[in-house]
Amino acid sequence: MKKVFAFGVTIVVIFSIFINPAFSQEPGPPEIPEPSPGPDPIKAPDPDPIQEPFPEESDSKKIQRLTEENNELKEQNLKLQVQINELNKIIENLQSITLEQIKVIMELVNQLNEALFGKLFSPEIKF
């Protein structure tokens, strides 16, 4: 009788495991919700066509106008080079003047040093 009772209990436990879904399956991960579709991207407007800067000019007029502009720029470049050379000369003159002033100041400092301390600590002994 004990065998029948043990057998019956095991059958009841096995049936309860298969019938009850909580015991028969492992719980899976929660479902990830589907993302809602995003809005459609805004399209960039079509660019306007590029216009020619000088539509009424012919090729020869364009070449002539560009040649004149080039000549004007060359003249401006020459003027600027002359100004740069003049400024470089002025800088050189200022540097030489500054060096002369430093020499004069150093000479004056030496004279002041001799005047103040030379007489006080004179090597000559006066009796």
Read off the amino acid at residue 69: E
Tens of pLDDT, residues 16-59:
666 655 554 566 677 877 777 777 778 888 877 777 666 677 77
pLDDT of 127 > 50? The answer is no
**For residues 15 and 18, what is the distance between their CA atoms, to the nearest angstrom?**
5
Provide the terminal-to-terminal Cα distance of the chain, rounded to the nearest Å. Answer: 150
How would you label 29-65 residue by residue, b for 16+ Cβ within 10 Å and e otherwise?
Answer: eeeeeeeeeeeeeeeeeeeeeeeeeeeeeeeeeeeee
Tens of pLDDT, residues 8-28:
778 776 766 666 555 545 666
Domain boundaries, the chain: 60-122
Query: DSSP assignment of 71-126, as one string?
Result: HHHHHHHHHHHHHHHHHHHHHHHHHHHHHHHHHHHHHHHHHHHIIIIIHHT-S---
User: Chain-wide mean pLDDT for the chain?
Assistant: 80
pTM of the model: 0.42
